[in-house]
Structure 1
Amino acid sequence: MRLLHTSDWHLGRSFHREDLMAAQAGFIDHLVETVRAERVECVLVSGDVYDRALPSLDAVALCDEALVRLGELARVVLIAGNHDSVRRLGFGSQLMDGSGVHVRTDPGRVGEPIIVGDTAIYGIPYLEPELVREPWKLDERSHAAALGEAMRRIRADMDARRGLRSVVMAHAFVTGGKASDSERDISVGGAANVPVSVFDGADYVALGHLHGRQRMTTRVRYSGSPLAYSFSEEHHVKGSWLVDLRADGIGAEFVESPVPRRVARVRGRIDELLTDPRYETYEDRWLQVTLTDPRRPAGAMERLRRRFPHTLVLGFEPEGAEDESARTWSERVRERSELDIAGDFVTEMGEAPPSEDERALLYEAFEACRGKDARL
């Protein structure tokens, strides 16, 4: 049995206001070609098909196109992730079963596999612990308890299907996995993680949720997202796992997906960034720039974009400045007047402290506010 394990498409997502629909459509083209060229028998999509519960019309249209194209070549199994709406993604799922596209969003069906050849595929949609705690009579409110019960039901069905291999799909945070900045927090009272041992007994576990490809064990893997959705993913290699279930074990090869534009983070003084030849490689990338000049340069974003037209995020961390991260806001402004605080802001945003005329205007504004408050 040959499977293609993918997840976290997040159709409809943008990247710091940059439209990614064309890049996501390119990934779907790549996925279809991979299925055709590699003779994939089943495509697994382990959750977060969409980026939000109410996806855009363009995202729905792209998903529809993807499922039609993939369904013409192979069986397809999708599960809901924490970004997906269970009701919207699951609409028409029983009708689609007959076409070879299987959407699993109902926790009550986790023990009902999709049979593909000699393999039973079990889809565990994202399980919100509070929603399954009562119907499943769980002793605690945690992801480990919810997934533990789901796997108990799956193992009971496995035992009745001797001779079939088993694949489990789940959308979860497995202990030891490395997160990035683009996953939505799913913690419940500090109990977001589940041990990898919860999946014992399955021949292969196709995980979704974490956006970096990861091998938790030989049989338990994350495919990661097909595109970078945060600057913390600058070193990720994106793609899908091509998995062979063989009599002698598991074979897995990572198939890289196309990269429309790489993401990167750079830091330094603005003059150095604008003139140093070693930064040429970043000129066509989406950039997060952190400036370290002693004073905030004027017009920094406009100047940076002349050399790096795809600069999206600009930060400022002056070299040698006192580390304020450990102090609260109230501690930092204590014993400073409103006028001083406003003056600091003007200084930070410009190249010089406010002039006497500017300070007079600020003072007048504060007095006007105080007068208005007194009348209320």
Structure 2
Amino acid sequence: MRLLHTSDWHLGRSFHREDLLRAQADFVDHLVETVRAERVDCVLVSGDVYDRALPAVDAVRLCNEALERLGALTRVVLIAGNHDSARRLGFGSGLMDASGVHLRTDPARVGEPVIVGDAAIYGIPYLEPELVRHPWDLPERSHAAALTEAVRRVRADHAARAGLRSVVLAHAFVSGGEASDSERDISVGGAVHVPASVFEGIDYVALGHLHGRQRMTDRVRYSGSPLAYSFSEERHLKGSWLVDLRDGALSAEFVEAPVPRRLGRIRGRLDDLLDDPALDRHESSWLQVTLTDARRPDGAMERVRRRFPHALVLGFEPEDGHGRQTRSWSERVRERGELDIAGDFVAEVSGAGADEAERALLHQAFEACRQKEALA
């Protein structure tokens, strides 16, 4: 039994306003070619197919194309993630089953497997604890309680299927996993972490949600997202797990996905960054640039992009600490006049306090606002 484990496609997502749909289409091409070349028996897609509950038309079109092409070659089991609308993603699932594409988005069906060869494959969609707490009579409002009950239902069904190995897809935050900046927080639905021991005894667990590939145990893994969606993923290796299950043994090989453009993060004074030959390798990268000049340079982004045309994010952190605050905003503005607060803003963006002419201009602006409000 050969499985290809992927997740977190986030179709329709951009990267700091860079359109990624072409890169996502290239990943679909890569996935189809991998299935063909490696003779994959089933593709597992562990949630977050789309980036939002109401995906753009182009994202839906690409998903449709991906499932049609994969379904023509092999079986596909797909679950909903926390970014997906389970009801919308699951539309037509009964009809798709006949084509070999199996959408599992309804929590009530977690104990109903898809049988592929000698494996029973169970899809557990993202479980919002509050939505399943009462129907499932859970002891507490937590992701661990919800997933424990879902896996209990899986085990109860699998116990009656002698000779079949068990495979589970789930979308959750397993304890010990390393998050990045691009996952949406799911803690609002109750205590978020789920221990890996919940899956004890399952032959393979294909996880989604965290965007970096990770091996929680030999049999419990995250594939990660196929593309980077934040600069915190600069060092991630993107792709899918190619998993072989045979005679109780498991082997897994990571298949790298195509990279549309490398990521980089650089920091320093503007002139140093523009002159440093060691940064030549970043001239074609998507870049996050942090300037440490004592005063914000004029036209900084334009100057950065003359050398690094794909710079996307520009930050400013003066190396002498000027302008850094440890107090909260409310503490900093308490009992201070509006002119002083506006002066702080000028200092924040320019690196120097407002001079007399600027303070006079600010004063005129505040007076004009007061007069307008009095006449309203």
Q: TM-score range by the shorter chain?
A: over 0.9
Aligned CA RMSD, in angstroms, stands at: 1.6
Residue of structure 2 in register with 1:85 after alignment: 85
Following superposition of structure 1 onto structure 2, how do residues 182-201 of structure 1 map, counting pairs within 5 Å? 182-188=182-188, 191-201=191-201
Q: 1:59 & 1:352 partners in 2: Cα distance?
A: 46
Equivalent position SS for 1:166: strand
Q: 2:351 & 2:325 partners in 1: Cα distance?
A: 24
Residue of structure 2 in register with 1:257 after alignment: 257
Residue of structure 2 in register with 1:60 after alignment: 60
Q: 1:36 & 1:191 partners in 2: Cα distance?
A: 41
299-308 or 188-197, which deviates more: 188-197
Residue correspondences, number: 376
Whether contact under 8 Å (1:81, 1:126) holds in the other structure is yes
Residue of structure 2 in register with 1:38 after alignment: 38
TM-score by length of 1: 0.96
Residue of structure 1 in register with 2:6 after alignment: 6
Which amino acid is the alignment partner of residue 110 of structure 2? V
Offset at residue 336 of structure 1 (A): 4.5
Which amino acid is the alignment partner of residue 172 of structure 1? A
Which amino acid is the alignment partner of residue 33 of structure 1? E
Which amino acid is the alignment partner of residue 139 of structure 1? P
Q: 1:166 & 1:70 partners in 2: Cα distance?
A: 22
Which amino acid is the alignment partner of residue 84 of structure 1? D
Residue of structure 2 in register with 1:155 after alignment: 155
Q: 2:326 & 2:347 partners in 1: Cα distance?
A: 23
Unaligned runs of 5+ in 1: none
Q: 2:351 & 2:318 partners in 1: Cα distance?
A: 14
Equivalent position SS for 1:250: strand
Residue of structure 2 in register with 1:301 after alignment: 301
Q: 2:267 & 2:36 partners in 1: Cα distance?
A: 43
Residue of structure 2 in register with 1:139 after alignment: 139
Q: 1:228 & 1:350 partners in 2: Cα distance?
A: 32
Please state if 1:287 is matched with 2:287. yes
Which amino acid is the alignment partner of residue 359 of structure 1? R
Change (3 A) 1:324 1:357: closer
Residue of structure 2 in register with 1:117 after alignment: 117
Q: 2:10 & 2:314 partners in 1: Cα distance?
A: 25
TM-score by length of 2: 0.96
Offset at residue 362 of structure 1 (A): 1.0
Q: Deviations over 1:44-98 (max 9, x none)?
A: 0000000000111100110011011111111000000000111110010000000
Whether contact under 8 Å (1:298, 1:351) holds in the other structure is no
Following superposition of structure 1 onto structure 2, how do residues 1-376 of structure 1 map, counting pairs within 5 Å? 1-188=1-188, 191-321=191-321, 324-334=324-334, 336-350=336-350, 353-374=353-374
Q: 2:249 & 2:113 partners in 1: Cα distance?
A: 21
Q: 1:351 & 1:330 partners in 2: Cα distance?
A: 22
Q: 2:296 & 2:334 partners in 1: Cα distance?
A: 24
Change (3 A) 1:323 1:166: farther
% identity of equivalent residues: 77
Change (3 A) 1:120 1:275: same
Which amino acid is the alignment partner of residue 155 of structure 1? R
Q: Deviations over 1:133-162 (max 9, x none)?
A: 111111111101100110111000111001
Equivalent position SS for 2:217: coil
Q: 2:225 & 2:251 partners in 1: Cα distance?
A: 21
Equivalent position SS for 2:295: coil
Offset at residue 361 of structure 1 (A): 1.6
Equivalent position SS for 2:9: coil
Whether contact under 8 Å (2:305, 2:311) holds in the other structure is yes
Whether contact under 8 Å (2:130, 2:189) holds in the other structure is no
Unaligned runs of 5+ in 2: none
